[in-house]
Amino acid sequence: MVFVSATALAFEVALTRICSVLLQYHLSFAVVSMAVLGVGLGGFAAWALVVRAERRGLQGADSTVAQAALLAFGPALVLALVVLMCLPFASAWPALLPFVLPAFACAGAFQSLALRAYATSAGRLYAADLLGGATGALLSVVAIGALGGPVNTTLVLAMLASALAWFWTREAGRLARVAPSGLALTLIATLAQALFGLFAVDYGRAPHKLLSASLRPSAQGTPHLLPQLARWDAYSRVDVLELDSPRGLQRLVFIDGETPTPMLQVDPTSPNAAGVGVTDALAALPFRLTAPKDVLSIGSGGGYDVVTARRFGATRIDAVELNAGVLAVVDAARDFTGDVYRQPGVTLHHAEGRQFARRAPAGMYDLLVLALAQSLAGNLQEYALSENYLYTREAFADYLRVLKRGGVIVLLVSNPMVQAKLVGTARDVLKARGVATDDCILALVGRGEVPYDHLVMVRSQPFTATECDAIEREVEARRYGVVHVPRAVRVPQSLLMPPVRASTRLVSAVDEKPFFFHLEPGTPSGLTLLLSGACVALGLACGAFGLAIHRDSKRRAPAVEMVRTTAYFVLLGLGFLMVEVLVLQRTILFLGYPTLNLAVVLASFLVGAGCGSLASDRLARGTALRVWLGGLALALAGLMPLLSALHAPLDSVPLGIRCAVVVAILLPFAFVMGMPFPAGVRRLAPEVRTWVPWFWGLNGIASITGSALVVAVVLERGFRLTGLLPAVVYLLAAVAIPASQGTGAARRRAGVSR
């Protein structure tokens, strides 16, 4: 049970990384939903196969189906890799993604049958499932980095699963003869990857990726990738594109095929210059206007901001970069860049940008620059984990605090809607401070500059008359498109940019609703599709369950009790994922590192829930279970406010202590959340226990619905109000607790011998 759960969750993490590269980042979370769906479908399929075998008079059907599921687990992992990495992908991904379901269905079938066979030990089995998942989540982060990416990690998992299945079924007759074939298949796939790169990433099969478009030949030359600099770990895949153009040799660093950052070649004749000119670019405009001495670069990437700042005479440059893969690539190419981060006056910080700004003393910098400083999570727009705390009103206040008098915030982006929303956010922040906003903001558009073509400058006091004259000259000389300039700046009508379309959601983001890149009005279409699909799947599953009960007259329980029991397990699935997703979105502000946040939160929930499952036999009997669920519902109502209050007073403490604080807060909640499922299984009457695989599957599908529903609500209502939703769900679960099966003697008669 532990191994199957750990392998399934490790594969789930690996799969999200694969789909982040081949598709868009937000679609990788559709994979998470499909994983849960696969586990649920595995429970349904296991029940159907066992019932069919029992009707034919076959003995030991539970064991046979469980062994067959374990045998198919390893080859199913290889099947998913073949489909995702070798078949035409981007244009047909909805048809291809279901091929990842068999692996999770095998895991779900094995787990549900184990619960059915040992229902009286449900607490220990469910604990093993959860603790195995926690182990898989933590080890996958290490393994993906150590093994060179999620593909190699998946192949190792497939070999281990096939080897275990061979050992487990060595005395299973016909199945024992099939087992070596599965192991041979996984070994062949692993050798093909090692010798021929069978599962190498081909960006030509992902035409919607920015990197794919950037690889097309142009008038400037034919770009190509530098595979020796590529990095792939649990955080991201980093690729370097090189182009030998008439302007000189240029490189762009891409994260998961998106968000490029320039890596400039050093000019051998001058340590402060690059082989490609930077002084005339739009990104250099703030330096031309203000000549800053102390600069903070958030999301410094390949070092473009550092090169520009040094070129204009900055004497102190703090470069902050969150992605360790990007830093590793820049370090590996230090001969090309002139070791940009080790130049005099430059200090590199591997940290999250906003947290760094909050910890910095006030009034330290003349200029703070964020150039395309948006994590891939910020590009989600419509799915879970799409929060971005870099561009909220509170973030702007943090940035203004660290600036000297007359200091400037510079934001460089590549999207007019994002630029318009940044201007609106700056206005709201300055207005709250009582500042004349129209004279403190500058927003311009470059002509054909890549990737920095939209600029926003914000300061806490108006631009001076001298600066306004300089802005006017710059605009006229370089023909910048004008989105907003101080009132004293006169610009030709021909240079005014048209406003963004009226339907764009320009309301500034706040920490309570940090979905800055949610730019479209209403609920996003992708989220609507996911939510409606999950609701339909749950409705169909409940309908099929009702039909199966109606047809099986021998084991039919009272209708009212079956409806109540079904509602109980469905509500548990809804509530668990609601809490998990909300916490993941909220704690990222406090911990700062997305992947670390994911690992800490998942491990806390799984370990805590596993311990709760172990204790459920003693702590969740009779009315005690209802009391525990009622208390959990009340406590959940205060969880979001509690997490929101953490970041301000504890920002300055070390990261390890912040992680420990999150774990300490989440463990009690997770402990109680782990008790209801096994306690409910133990309470089932003998005639109902045969339906445990169905309850397992319904619980899994309900989890998808819960995660999609909570994201849809939090996008519109924020964390505090949405945090009440899982509280209500668990309160309803307390009402729907299944009736006890009776006395201890009846329990022993109903149990299945081990």
| Calpha distance 626→372 (Å, rounded) | 50
| Calpha distance 510→505 (Å, rounded) | 14
Q: Do residues 555 and 534 share a domain?
A: yes
DSSP assigned state of 281: S
Q: Do residues 525 and 498 share a domain?
A: no
| Calpha distance 297→320 (Å, rounded) | 6
| Calpha distance 318→282 (Å, rounded) | 21
| Calpha distance 18→27 (Å, rounded) | 11
How far is Cα of residue 205 from the mean position of the Cα atoms in its chain? 23
Q: Is residue 126 part of a domain?
A: yes
Amino acid, res. 390: L
The greatest distance separating any two alpha carbons of the chain, rounded to the nearest whole angstrom, comes to 93
In tens, the pLDDT along 223-258 reads 999 999 999 988 789 999 998 876 677 888 988 888
Q: Is residue 24 part of a domain?
A: yes
Which of 508, 542, 563 terminates a domain? The answer is 508
Instruction: Determine the pLDDT at residue 748.
Output: 41
Q: What is the end-to-end Cα distance of the chain in Å, rounded?
A: 15
**CB-count exposure of residue 145 (10 Å: 0-12, 13-18, 19+):** middle
Strand order in the sheet with 403-413: 346-350, 316-321, 294-298, 365-371, 403-413, 454-459, 441-445, 481-484
How far is Cα of residue 222 from the mean position of the Cα atoms in its chain? 34
Instruction: Determine the pLDDT at residue 374.
Output: 53
Q: Is residue 371 part of a domain?
A: no
Element (H, E) at 367: strand 365-371
Spatial neighbors of 227 by CB under 8 A, at least 6 apart, are none
Q: Look at residue 556 and tell me whether its pLDDT is greater than 70.
A: no
Q: Do residues 559 and 476 share a domain?
A: no
* Cβ atoms within 10 Å of 258's Cβ, excluding its own: 19
Q: Do residues 72 and 44 share a domain?
A: yes
Q: Do residues 478 and 527 share a domain?
A: no
Q: Which residue has the higher pLDDT, 153 or 558?
A: 153
| Calpha distance 349→114 (Å, rounded) | 49
Lowest mean pLDDT among 134-138, 517-521, 709-713: 517-521
Least Cα distance to 209 among 153, 171, 176, 257 occurs for 257
pLDDT-derived band at 123 (thresholds 50, 70, 90) equals confident
Least Cα distance to 389 among 307, 277, 511 occurs for 511
Mean pLDDT (whole number) for 387-398: 89
Instruction: Determine the pLDDT at residue 240.
Output: 94
Strands 231-232 and 237-245: antiparallel
Which of 174, 201, 228 terminates a domain? The answer is 201
The sign of the CA dihedral 556, 559, 565, 566 is positive
Q: Is residue 358 part of a domain?
A: no
| Calpha distance 291→395 (Å, rounded) | 24
In tens, the pLDDT along 345-377 reads 999 999 889 989 998 999 999 999 998 765 433
**CB-count exposure of residue 754 (10 Å: 0-12, 13-18, 19+):** exposed
Radius of gyration of the chain (CA): 28
Instruction: Determine the pLDDT at residue 177.
Output: 81
Spatial neighbors of 228 by CB under 8 A, at least 6 apart, are none
Instruction: Determine the pLDDT at residue 506.
Output: 85
Instruction: Determine the pLDDT at residue 247.
Output: 64
Q: Do residues 408 and 459 share a domain?
A: yes
Phi, psi of 750 (to 5 degrees): -80, -25
Q: Do residues 625 and 646 share a domain?
A: yes
Q: Do residues 661 and 600 share a domain?
A: yes
Token code pair at residue 322: 């969150």
Alpha helix positions (H), 333-464: 334-337, 353-359, 393-401, 416-432
Q: What is the DSSP string of 206-271?
A: -TTSHHHHHTS-BTTB--EE-GGG-EE-SS-EEEEEEEEETTEEEEEEEETTEEEEEEEPEETTEE
In tens, the pLDDT along 33-55 reads 677 778 878 888 887 888 788 77
Instruction: Determine the pLDDT at residue 706.
Output: 87
Task: State which of 199-213, 372-386, 475-489 shows the largest mean pLDDT.
Answer: 475-489
Instruction: Determine the pLDDT at residue 289.
Output: 93
Q: Do residues 20 and 104 share a domain?
A: yes
Q: What is the DSSP string of 41-82?
A: HHHHHHHHHHHHHHHTT-S-HHHHHHHHHHHHHHHHHHHHHH
Token code pair at residue 306: 């550092």
Least Cα distance to 698 among 586, 594, 568 occurs for 568
Phi, psi of 218 (to 5 degrees): -140, 180
| Calpha distance 370→76 (Å, rounded) | 44
Instruction: Determine the pLDDT at residue 743.
Output: 39
Cβ 294 vs Cβ 465: under 8 Å: no
Spatial neighbors of 52 by CB under 8 A, at least 6 apart, are none
Question: CA 426, 515, 462 angle in degrees (round to 5)?
Answer: 5
| Calpha distance 359→366 (Å, rounded) | 17
Q: Look at residue 412 and tell me whether its pLDDT is greater than 60.
A: yes
| Calpha distance 458→436 (Å, rounded) | 12
Cβ 253 vs Cβ 236: under 8 Å: no
CATH number, domain containing residue 585: 1.20.1250
Mean pLDDT (whole number) for 717-731: 92
Q: Do residues 611 and 551 share a domain?
A: yes
Mean pLDDT (whole number) for 61-74: 88
Q: Is residue 91 part of a domain?
A: yes
Which of 156, 181, 201 terminates a domain? The answer is 201
Cβ 698 vs Cβ 573: under 8 Å: yes
Element (H, E) at 405: strand 403-413
The mean pLDDT of the chain is 84
Count of structural domains within the chain: 3
Q: Is residue 600 part of a domain?
A: yes
Q: Is residue 334 part of a domain?
A: no
Token code pair at residue 187: 């070994």
Phi, psi of 436 (to 5 degrees): -75, 95
Q: Do residues 62 and 178 share a domain?
A: yes
Amino acid, res. 620: A
**CB-count exposure of residue 617 (10 Å: 0-12, 13-18, 19+):** middle
* Cβ atoms within 10 Å of 63's Cβ, excluding its own: 15
Q: Do residues 502 and 619 share a domain?
A: no
Lowest mean pLDDT among 56-65, 186-195, 469-478, 488-497: 56-65
Q: Is residue 267 part of a domain?
A: no
| Calpha distance 619→682 (Å, rounded) | 13
Domain range for 684 is 521-754
| Calpha distance 614→126 (Å, rounded) | 8
Mean pLDDT (whole number) for 390-417: 92
Facing residues of 252 across strands?
Answer: 241, 262
Instruction: Determine the pLDDT at residue 521.
Output: 77
| Calpha distance 363→360 (Å, rounded) | 9
Tokens 């009340």 sit on residue: 634
